[in-house]
A and B are shown apart, each in its own frame.
Chain A
Amino acid sequence: MDNFLSYLIDPEFLYSVFRVTTPLLFAALASVVAENAGASNIALEGIMIFSALFGAIGSGITQSLTLGLLFAICGGLIISLLLAYFALYLKTDIILSGIALNTLASGGSVFLLYVILGDKGSTSALQCLTFPTINIPIIENIPFVGEIISGQNLLTYIAFIMVWVVFYLLYHTKLGKYLRVVGESPQAAESVGLDVRKLKLTALLISGVLASLGGAFLSMGYMSGFSRGMVSGRGFIALAAAAMGMLSPVPTMIAAIIFGFADAVSNILAALRIPDEFVKLIPYLVTIIGLIVFSQIRSSSEKKRRKKVLSST
């Protein structure tokens, strides 16, 4: 146990928390943008699978990181566009579409992998590229803190910058205001002349790009190359993070870090010879507990607010 606690304040461990948080954060922000516009993006898992696959193959074939990233985003957008087309234009229930697209993506990725590389498991036949790690000048020389914050993957920094970008987009731009109006009340939005469908489409596409960055990180940062099952429910955990963050970027980031922490803890427990099964269920258990706690806090604060409103009138 002492051994375990000493792991927790190890800078190497704290460094890994940010590393494993990265894909969750991208996907959680993707959910935040979509949900704010009233479009539930359940297909995050599928978007991440496709973007991870396309990124790995793209970077492996072109040997260019930029093209690899573009491939990843295109791969993710295939799923986002299908979701938008079916949900917004053919009026398929958006949750059902999301579930269908996740199964499509998980089988489809294996199919594509086999067609392109003749392998059903991974892209190990290709020399896939990874995004570079960045050392931040000055900060890297601070003991402890430098070891944790500096030297992370480029996409990890971008993920945290995206928290601010999404915040700015939602609360300080006209587009963000429109998206929130559409999410709050589509009827009201329509009555003031907003094109609800187009705005939801925009939100789903932004959401798709964000989730694709998360997928790209998985196959071009976290790992080098795509392997079957690598997303392993991260798209779903991200949904939980966004729900816990009450669809607001900064609290969502905190929720994502909590889940990232649980994920990182499970990695060190694996090294401590705790049965593999118990280690693996920790992130999901923490997520479900987190979801309950935050739903409870939210509903009780809402009750209080309602009481206040009632007593003041």
Chain B
Amino acid sequence: MRKLSFDSKFEIIRFSVAILIALLLSFIIILLVSDTPFLALQKLYLGPIENLRRFGNVIELAITLSFAGLSIAIIFSSNEFNLASEGAFYASGAVAAMFVLSNSLPAIISPFLSILLGGVVGAVIVTIPAVLKKKWGASELVSSLMLNFIVLYFARYFINNVFKDPSAGYNATYLLPETAKLSKIVSGTRIHSGLIILIVTVIACVLFMEKTKWGFELTQVGRNRQFAKYVGINTSAIVIMSQVLGGFIAGVGGAVETLGMYTRFQWQSLPGYGFDGVIVAILAKNKPRYVPIAAFFLAYIRIGADKMATSTDVTSEMIAIIQGIIIMLVAATAFLSNTRQKMLVKEVRNNG
């Protein structure tokens, strides 16, 4: 086995300590607020593996979170804080649903085109803030946050007016045709063929980032834009490219989620996946190859929290506190820096 470098060894320790602190915090919070703290803890940590259906839920959620994480990882690699993936998820889900409702294409072709269309919608949306910044210098962070709400209400108008099924009893589209839906691939769960699309996407992203010239240039631009420009990289083209790609992946994610998980499109507010993508990308250190692991971790504690909420008196929103603390600790460059120093000294002594 390849010997781990000092930095990756330290990263693993730092990561574990961050998770440990967060778990400890969840323990304390549950002890404080719950009448049945041990049942709550058991449901939180073991709930997801109680039965196959529950574990299936983890995988289903992890698929969506992986798309979100890949999207943000590629966008943030260029050091642009563009959060339009959130709106892209909503819009592409809506567009995918509207597309399959307005044609009668056969199976396979219908979901394929629908997902492709979702990807294009996502790419367009996410690229807008980057273009606004490039052309007029408007902050991409602020404009992407505004854009999310605009996209939400614009797409929702069509869902609630044009494609609304009056007999549904609530605001939702007509039933999505069976031919358009992604097939279930594991019986006893709702795990759908979106998993295969995800695996292909992950591999493509890993290859793109690690094996292509563009991926290499993107990494350089993210590290030091001035320097990248200096060595002759067309930095603005690379930045736009990363937004298009990231947006496309978010769009595919939104379409896959809609066709894989729902019988109708019914989101009435932003799904939050864009922000979840930030969590996943930070946990994965912006590296596509770690995204599925990070997404699985996040999905696991989310489903655990749901299980805890249905069986005990602790609400699932508690997990938002834990998540927030984990992200900030993992992203904290000075966290445990003293320990790092000590480890480094020891390492040097041992080797020297």
Contact B136 A292 (CB under 8 A): yes
Q: Does B28 contact A (CB under 8 A)?
A: no
Is B150 a contact of A288 with CB atoms below 8 Å?
Answer: yes
> Closest CB of chain A to B165's CB: distance in Å?
17
A 274-303 binary contact with B (CB < 8 Å = 1; else 0): 010110110011011001100110110000
Q: Does the CB pair A90–B332 fall under 8 Å? A: yes
Query: Are A103's CB and B332's CB within 8 A?
Result: no
Report the Cα distance A100→B332, complex, angstroms.
12
Most chain A CB neighbours (cut-off 10 Å) among B142, B161, B275, B282: B142
Contact B136 A96 (CB under 8 A): no
On whether the beta carbons of B315 and A111 are closer than 8 Å, the reply is yes
Task: Knowing A120-B315, A291-B142, A292-B138 are in contact, say whether A99-B278 is a contact too (CB < 8 A).
Answer: yes
The answer to whether A277 and B157 have CB atoms under 8 Å apart is yes
A196 to chain B, nearest CB (A): 15
Docked Cα-Cα span, A103 to B83, in Å, equals 13
List the A residue with the shortest CB-CB distance to B155: A277
- Alpha-carbon distance between A100 and B331 when the two chains are bound, in angstroms: 10
Residues in chain B near residue A99, CB distance under 8 A = 83, 275, 278
- The reply to whether B320 and A106 form a contact with Cβ atoms under 8 Å apart is yes
What residues of chain B lie closer than 8 Å to A239, measured between beta carbons? 139, 141-142, 145
Task: State the Cβ distance, B136 to closest chain A Cβ, in Å.
Answer: 5
Query: Does more than half of chain B's interface fall in helix, strand or loop, or is it mixed?
Result: helix
Pairwise interchain contact A86-B136, C-beta atoms closer than 8 A: no
Contacts of A108 in B (CB 8 A): 317, 320-321, 324
Indicate the member of B33, B138, B150 with the most A CB atoms within 10 Å: B138
Q: How large is the interface on B (under 10, 10 to 19, 20 to 34, 35 or more residues)?
A: 35 or more
**Does any Cβ of B come within 8 Å of A59's Cβ?**
no
Q: Check A111/B331 contact, CB under 8 A, given A95-B141, A281-B154, A291-B139.
A: no
Neighbouring B residues of A115 by C-beta, 8 Å: 33, 315
Task: Name the A residues within 8 Å of B132 (CB-CB).
Answer: 288, 291-292
Q: Mark A113-134, 1 if CB is under 8 A from B, else 0.
A: 0110000100000000000000
The A121-164 residues at the B interface (CB cut-off 8 A) are none
List chain A residues, Cβ under 8 A from B275: 99, 102-103
Is A101 an interface residue, CB under 8 A from the partner? Answer: yes
* With A91-B334, A285-B150 as contacts: A86 and B328 at CB distance below 8 Å: yes
A residues lining the B interface (CB < 8 Å): 42, 82, 86, 89-93, 95-97, 99-104, 106-108, 110-111, 114-115, 120, 229, 233, 236-237, 239-240, 243, 275, 277-278, 280-281, 284-285, 287-288, 291-292, 295-296, 298-299
Q: 5 tightest CB-CB pairs across the interface, nearest first?
A: A107-B320, A104-B324, A90-B332, A91-B334, A281-B153
